[in-house]
């Protein structure tokens, strides 16, 4: 029977026992549990990777203004800004994560990895990684399998939903997927991949879900950029064998515990945090009034 992704520790043990790589174990799980052939899985991943890259391009090249007006072509501005804070590569990373997420906020096509709210992180991370290190598409798809395995475990041990565990569960999980994928692509060991996940989640713990006007725009879009940055910093730390000290499974359990005790107003209800600020309240009212105004037209 395929490994059931109940913990990172067991995933590692299973890899060592069966002499399989991290991605091979996920493929085995998908074929046995979902009844899909390996070819279908690879084909699906290839399509997802294509959509991710298209989202990056669309966000950087096409008009990106959301109905609320809160999102207004921010990715392009960042991409074209003449002074990189660190390097052009870092600027590109941030722009691409923003770009793909803006496409989602403007109702375009994205890959929910693991959710639509966090859909800019993996595209930003993988696109930039491939460009800098000339990673093959085949390796990127394998890394996406590893990322999927990471998400499956987090979903079981904690949550990947902002409504259940706060933003740590959404953008935190996507960042952990990205960090693990980076380390995997750069030939890190299993321990280093899992360490990258642990370090990433340690950096994202406690992040609440407080979308302004209940729209997945503010702060969601900028959090995709910061999560992409954290994925990269964590991967850099993990590759150098700097240990997370708290084992990855315990870190994920801590995330679950924090998510469970988080107040409801911080779980996608738009009742607390940024969503409760006076400015956000005004925006929410404006968005609501406009939606009511358009209702009669829609019904006629």
Strand, helix or coil for residue 62 = coil
Residue 72: exposure state from Cβ atoms within 10 A (0-12, 13-18, ≥19) = middle
56, 154, 179, 220: residue in contact with ligand SF4 (rule CB under 6 A): 220
Nearest residue relative to ligand SF4 (C-beta): 162
139, 202, 223, 230: residue in contact with ligand SF4 (rule CB under 6 A): 223
Stretch near ligand SF4 under the rule CB under 6 A, chosen from 39-47, 81-89, 163-171, 235-243 = 163-171
Does position 30 bind ligand SF4 by CB under 6 A? no
Alpha carbon distance 119, 98 (integer Å):
9
Find the helix or strand (DSSP H, E) in which 249 lies: helix 248-261
CA distances from 46 to 53, 66, 262 (A): 11, 28, 37
Alpha carbon distance 243, 240 (integer Å):
9
Strand, helix or coil for residue 65 = strand
Stretch near ligand SF4 under the rule CB under 6 A, chosen from 68-76, 84-92, 148-156, 165-173 = 165-173
Does position 113 bind ligand SF4 by CB under 6 A? no
59, 211, 256, 259: residue in contact with ligand SF4 (rule CB under 6 A): 211
Stretch near ligand SF4 under the rule CB under 6 A, chosen from 51-59, 148-156, 162-170, 236-244 = 162-170
Does position 142 bind ligand SF4 by CB under 6 A? no
Name 65's bridge partners.
72
Which residues contact ligand SF4 by CB under 6 A? 117-118, 162, 167, 170-171, 209-211, 216, 219-220, 223, 268
């Amino acid at each position: 029977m395929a490994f059931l992704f109940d913990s990172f520790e067991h995933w590692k043990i299973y890899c060592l026992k069966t002499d399989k790589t991290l991605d091979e174990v996920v493929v085995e799980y998908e074929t046995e549990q979902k009844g899909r052939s390996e070819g279908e899985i690879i084909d699906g991943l290839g399509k997802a990777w294509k959509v991710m890259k298209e989202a990056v391009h669309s966000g950087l090249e096409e008009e990106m203004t959301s109905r609320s007006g809160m999102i207004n072509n921010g990715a392009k501005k960042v991409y074209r800004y003449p002074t990189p804070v660190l390097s052009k590569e870092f600027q590109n990373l941030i722009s691409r994560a923003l770009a793909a997420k803006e496409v989602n906020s403007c109702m375009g096509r994205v890959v929910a990895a693991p959710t639509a709210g966090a859909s800019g992180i993996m595209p930003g991370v993988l696109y930039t990684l491939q460009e800098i290190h000339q990673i093959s598409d085949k390796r990127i798809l394998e890394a996406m399998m590893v990322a999927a395995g990471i998400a499956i475990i987090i979903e079981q041990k904690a949550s990947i939903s902002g409504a259940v565990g706060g933003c740590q569960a959404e953008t935190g999980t996507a960042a952990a997927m990205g960090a693990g994928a980076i380390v995997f692509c750069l030939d890190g060991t299993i321990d280093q991949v899992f360490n990258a996940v642990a370090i990433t989640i340690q950096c994202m713990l406690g992040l609440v879900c407080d979308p302004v006007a209940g729209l997945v725009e503010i702060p969601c879009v900028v959090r995709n950029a910061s999560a992409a940055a954290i994925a990269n910093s964590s991967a850099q730390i993990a590759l150098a064998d700097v240990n997370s000290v708290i084992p990855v499974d315990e870190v994920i359990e801590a995330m679950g515990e924090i998510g469970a005790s988080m107040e409801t107003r911080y779980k996608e209800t738009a009742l607390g945090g940024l969503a409760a600020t006076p400015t956000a309240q005004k925006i929410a009212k404006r968005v609501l009034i406009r939606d009511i105004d358009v209702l009669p037209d829609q019904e006629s």
